[in-house]
Structure formats: C-alpha cells, structure tokens
Structure 1
Amino acid sequence: MSKEALKIRLMDTHAGGDVSRIVLGGIDPLPGTTVRDRMHYLRDDADGLRKLLLEEPYGIPEMSVDLIVPAADPEAEVGYIIMEVMGYPIYSGSNTICTATAVLEAGLVPKQEGVQRFILESPAGQVHIEAKVVDGVVEAITCEGLPSYIDTYRSTIHVPTIGDVTYSVAYSGGFYALVEAADLGFSLVREEERALSDCAFKIVEALQAERGFSHYTLGDVGPLPFLHFMGPVDQIADDFYRSRSTTYVHPGVICRSTTGTGTSARLALMHHEGRLAPGDKLETVSLRETGFIGELTGTRQEGTHRVVENTITGKAYVLAHSDIVINLEDPLVEDGSLHHILSSRHRVE
C-alpha cells in the first residue's frame, strides 16, 4: 500500500437504477458561506474529487456523487453537493432521493417511524423532504422539484442524418429538450439504449450549435445538456397518468431512471398543453421498468413564464457501505485538484 494513502467513506445507493455515491467522510471542510459557494469551490479548485469517483478505476460515468456538507441554512439538517459526469448540476431528483435516504440510514437525520419531514440544502437552496418509514425501512422519499417552465414549444430543427426534429424545451433544474420517441422510431425498450444515446447526442449537438438558452432569473446556465424521450401517455385514473420515458445526459450516457428533473420537465410540458392540472400525477417509467411519480402541486406566473411547482416521489436502495482507499502515488489518481481537500484524519495506517 502507498505511504500516502487516504480513505473516503461512502454509501452507495440507487434510485430507479441510477447509482449515487454518497460521500460521508474523508473530505475536509470546504470554504464558502453557502452550499452553492462550496459547490463553486469544488468545481473551480477541487474537481479531482468528481473525476476520481466517476472515472476508472474507482467509478464509471453513469454514476453520480453527492458530497454531504454542513448546511448553511439554519432550517436545513445537512447540505449536499451533486457531481455528475457533465459537471455540477444545482439540483437532481434522483440524487436528492438517494441523499435523503442516506442521511436517514447514516443517522445524520434521526429516523422516525411513519411520515417525517425535514429540509436539505442543495446548491439550488432549500429542498423539503417527506420520508415514509415502515418498520425502520425508508420506503419512499418525496422531494420538491425545482420550479419548471416551458421555454420553447414545438419548434423544429434540422439534424444531420436524422432530418427535421420537432422539440420543446423546458427548464427543470437544467434545460431539457423534449421529443416524442415514436416520431424518431423508438418504442423505449432497453434494446434501444445505444441507439437512443446516439440519436440524442446528434439532436443536442445540433441545438447547442444553433442557439442558447437563458433562465429568467439565473441567466446563462450553460448550453442545453439534456434530452428527454417521451412515450405515449396513458390515463390510469382521473388524476393519474403514466408514460414510458428516458433521459440522455451526456455522450454515451442514458440514465437508468427517468430522472426527477426529466419528470418535472414532463409535468411542465403537459400543463402547458392543458393535459395536467394541480393535483394531477404522472408516473414516468424507464427502460428498466423503474419509475418516479411527479405531482403538479401548483402554478404561478413569473413574467412571461407559467411556472409549475411539483414534487417527485421515488425509493432509494442502499447498495454498499465502503471505504475507498486513495493512493496518491497511483498514476491513475490525478491529485493536483484533490489532495488539498482529503482529510488526514482518514489516513490509512
């Protein structure tokens, strides 16, 4: 073993098939007044942590990482910073479901039988959590989705090798292109995963080359990164709908779940089309037959945008508790933007 070996304490979880690695220990306190400030520090000065845990030999790009940090908001129990292969999203539904489950299982928030409520602090701000605990097991997490709205409705773009593609764009924590899967020849089954990824990459690349998008308060949040394939919508009950869905997040990466932010984007689009009203729910079903339930909880007008308030409900499972040993002498460990945040208190003896 290396003379310079440190360890990071992890709890691996998944929600809907998307693996979130929760970092519970081994990282020194980060500078910054808010969780958003600490996220910026990680992004700008310590991006080695994200790369280490999402790249070989320690991880794969399909995973996500959530670093537990102290909350700055006095009403929040803990804070968390989300790291994904594409960078540092300010919010993620599946990561929030996993993080909320992890803080309960780790005892950072005392687990209570029945329904309990608490607040987490994400880089986007407060996130209200409702946890359902049955016989000591976290059976469901309901978390707030970010206020979502439609930026572009049914526009068309020409995509080389594909043709003209009709798309809408929603903001739900990131900008999403939304396309009808059937229009592109997809049934949304697992065997199509590679083809879906290749198709989404071409559409996203074309959109990024043609135009940018700006949030009405946040301004420029970067080029559109995500694409959500939508299947037909079935009405299950008066206020409950179901649709197959899948989300592309990065070249070669289709999320195993339908994603919370993807589900929020669908809620915004269906409300824009007059198909959902407050109190209605939509279950999105993934290529792996997992699902999240989004509920449209309210709407409000923000300038020219009709903003949809929503919640996302899902279940996370604990996969593993582990200590990852970081050998700083390993040539595969790029410690230039990592070693200064690793805690010497977690040195491997």
Structure 2
Amino acid sequence: MHLDTKIFSTFENQILTIDLHVAGEPLRLIINGIPSIRGQSINDKRLYIGENMDYVRLLLTKEPRGHRDMFAGIVTEPVSDEGHFGIVFMDARRYPYMCGHGIIGAVTAFIEMGWLEAKEAKSQVVVDTPSGSVRSSARVQEMTDRRLRVESVAFRMESAFAFLLDQSLEVPGYGRFTVDVVFAGGFFVMVPIGQTGLTLTPEKAPELARLGMAVIHAGNQQLKVQHPLFPYINTIDVVEFYEPVNKSLMKGKNIVILGEGHVDRSPCGTGTSAKLALLHRRGVLRLGQTLVNEGMLGTTFEGQITREIDVGGLPAIVPEIRGSAYITGLHRFVLTPDDPFPGGFLV
C-alpha cells in the first residue's frame, strides 16, 4: 500500500527526534520543532527550558509518547569555543546536569547522520552540557555502503569524587543501610546490593525502583550534600545498587535508579564514573586500570581513571567511560488541539 506523505503537512507543529538506545537505555534527541532557547551557558538554557518550555519534557518523556523510563535531550548550538554542539538533558522528573549515556548516544547520532565530519577513525567531539564541556572520542568505521558506523564513544567527565563514606541511612519501611555518597555529574547514594536482600536482575527492577526512590527521599532528608565548587548542586538525585567488584577480573555490576523510579537499562555512564571514584577512594582501583561495568541486561561500559585531581579540597578523579549506541528511529511528534493529555501522564 502506498500512502500519500502529504499527511505530514497536515500538522502545523511537529517536533523531530532521533531515538537511540545505549546499552539498552533509551535516548530521545530533540533536534527540531521547538522555539529558540535563551541563555549564555548550557545551564542557563537548562533553567530557561525548565521555566518556559517544560511542556516539551512532559510531552516527550511521559506517556503516551514516552514512559517512566524515557530519557531525552534537547540539542542546542554550542556555547564554548571548542564545542561542536550543546545538549540539555531531561527525564520524566527533572533536568539532570550530566548524562553519560546521553553523550555516547548524541555523538553517535551526530556522526552517523552526517552532521559532524569524521575525518579520522578516531574523531574528537566536544559536547557542551550543564556541567561543563565534555570531551569525547568516537571510533568510526566506514561501512560497505559508505555509511559511517560509530563503533563506540569514550567521554571524560571533569571530575568524580567520594563525598561521604560509611553513612548510616534509615529508610522508612526498609530499615537501616550503610551507604556512601559520591558525586559524578550529580550526587549518588551508593548501596551494596547485599544489604537489600534483592538481586541485580530485571525481575527485581520494580522492587529496586521503589526502594531506590525511598533511599533518595531519605538521603535528601538525612544527608547534607553540596558541591564544593557549585553550591547550587545540593540534592541527591540518584541511587546505585551494586555488587562487590570481582578484583581478579576487575568487573562490576550495578543498577541505577533515578527520575520517577526510572530504572537505567545500561550500566549508566555517570553511575560507572561514580563507581570508579568510590573504588579509587577505597584503594581497589588504581590510576590507569580498566573496570568493566555491567548493567542488568548484561551490556557493559568500560571505565578508566585517567587522572587524580583535587576538587575543593577533596581527592577526586577524572574518569573516562566507553560504550556503544544504536539509532532506533526517526520520529515526528505532534499534539492535536483537543488531546486530553498535553502534559502526558505516568501510571
């Protein structure tokens, strides 16, 4: 059956996206169809979107166009001299400062769609984010049909560091846990899975999501956090449940919970960075060593400590994370005037 594509012109306002998955975790890149975004820095743009354009997030991350576990990013022009493009991250609850799988997916999309020229097999891309400019490196292969395939992307975060160690946290309805708090693009509560009686498997994801949200709520009530250089970063937004690292293989496994009970399908880029920082602080992982970090689906990211630094008097690291992304669709989203759910919903 041949359908007339003039149907696309019947909708006056269309939002164009590229959808990908990164080690199983969704990413929806918003590339066209929204008003211009004011702000000199990407964080300024993040605040402007939250105050003036939150309908975009609600429409595209929540049902019926998205779901509780959808993650998205609005692509912007770069704000730094070296930047190739900027991105404002969002999920069903908030606007994160940084997202590792978002960097991997966005760089993959820009190269494979031909928006960035890949001059070498290893191409350098700088992405401007709310937490600063992120340097990345893409391994690119030319396919037989002349298309470019990005085999993997590695990115370096500006810093990650252990902030609080061995904290006692009372979680109503669940009991008391001994946790650590780590900064990696945002503040993580790190919970050994052995304390929970659960396992890092897909069938336990609903229980881990409920426990994770309870941990985040309790952490924000009982633990005081504030970035030593950026005082406006002062909340706990993510929890990471993790297994002990296999030291002989240098391999770990975790599940990360964020947003509105969002269960990360991937090993989580910032979550892997948080794990590197904690392992380094505990003396388990040294400079230059590689950790293979596994998510609940069995997919992996590779993480490495590239430098040891100081952040506001705290010992910190510069982590590098590598992973792969895959384009899954090109979409045109519309909103009819009488749609009863312009702001979406979650069940």
User: Same fold judged by TM-score > 0.5?
Assistant: yes
Q: For residue 326 of structure 1, what is the aligned residue in structure 2?
A: 335
Q: Gaps (5+ residues) in structure 1?
A: 336-349
> In structure 2, the residue corresponding to 1:147 is in which secondary structure?
coil
Amino acid at match of 1:190: P
Matched, 1:39 2:49: no
Q: For residue 311 of structure 1, what is the aligned residue in structure 2?
A: 320
Q: Report the CA distance between 1:57 and its aligned residue.
A: 1.8
Q: Report the CA distance between 1:25 and its aligned residue.
A: 1.3
Distance 1:261 1:222 in 2: 17
Q: Percent identity?
A: 26
Distance 1:176 1:101 in 2: 26
> In structure 1, the residue corresponding to 2:236 is in which secondary structure?
coil
Counting only pairs closer than 5 Å after superposition, residues 191-230 of structure 1 correspond to structure 2 as 191-230=203-242
Distance 2:19 2:158 in 1: 25
Q: For residue 307 of structure 2, what is the aligned residue in structure 1?
A: 298
Counting only pairs closer than 5 Å after superposition, residues 1-349 of structure 1 correspond to structure 2 as 5-135=12-142, 136-236=148-248, 241-334=250-343
Distance 1:67 1:232 in 2: 36
Aligned length: 332
Distance 1:180 1:211 in 2: 18
> Post-superposition, which runs of at least 4 consecutive aligned residues in structure 1 deviate over 3 A?
1-5
Amino acid at match of 2:136: I
Q: For residue 341 of structure 1, what is the aligned residue in structure 2?
A: none
Specify which structure has the higher proportion of strand. Answer: 1
> Any idea what the Cα deviations from partners look like across 1:123-179, whole Å, max 9, x if unmatched?
222111100012321000001124011111011122233222000000101100001
Kept in 2: contact 1:35–1:121 (CA 8 A): yes
Amino acid at match of 2:37: L
Kept in 1: contact 2:159–2:316 (CA 8 A): yes
Relative to 1, partners in 2 of residues 1:297 and 1:11: Cα closer, same or farther, differing over 3 Å?
same
Distance 2:112 2:334 in 1: 23
> Any idea what the Cα deviations from partners look like across 1:240-267, whole Å, max 9, x if unmatched?
x111111010343211112111111101
Distance 1:34 1:204 in 2: 28
Q: Report the CA distance between 1:113 and its aligned residue.
A: 5.0
Amino acid at match of 1:286: G
> In structure 1, the residue corresponding to 2:244 is in which secondary structure?
strand
Deviation larger for 262-271 or 298-307: 298-307
Kept in 2: contact 1:112–1:133 (CA 8 A): no
TM-score (normalizing by structure 1): 0.90
Amino acid at match of 2:301: F
> Any idea what the Cα deviations from partners look like across 1:187-226, whole Å, max 9, x if unmatched?
3122211111122222222222223311001114242111
Q: Report the CA distance between 1:32 and its aligned residue.
A: 1.5
TM-score (normalizing by structure 2): 0.91
Q: Gaps (5+ residues) in structure 2?
A: 1-6, 143-147
Amino acid at match of 2:189: A
CA RMSD, Structure 1 to Structure 2 (Å): 1.9
Q: For residue 3 of structure 2, what is the aligned residue in structure 1?
A: none
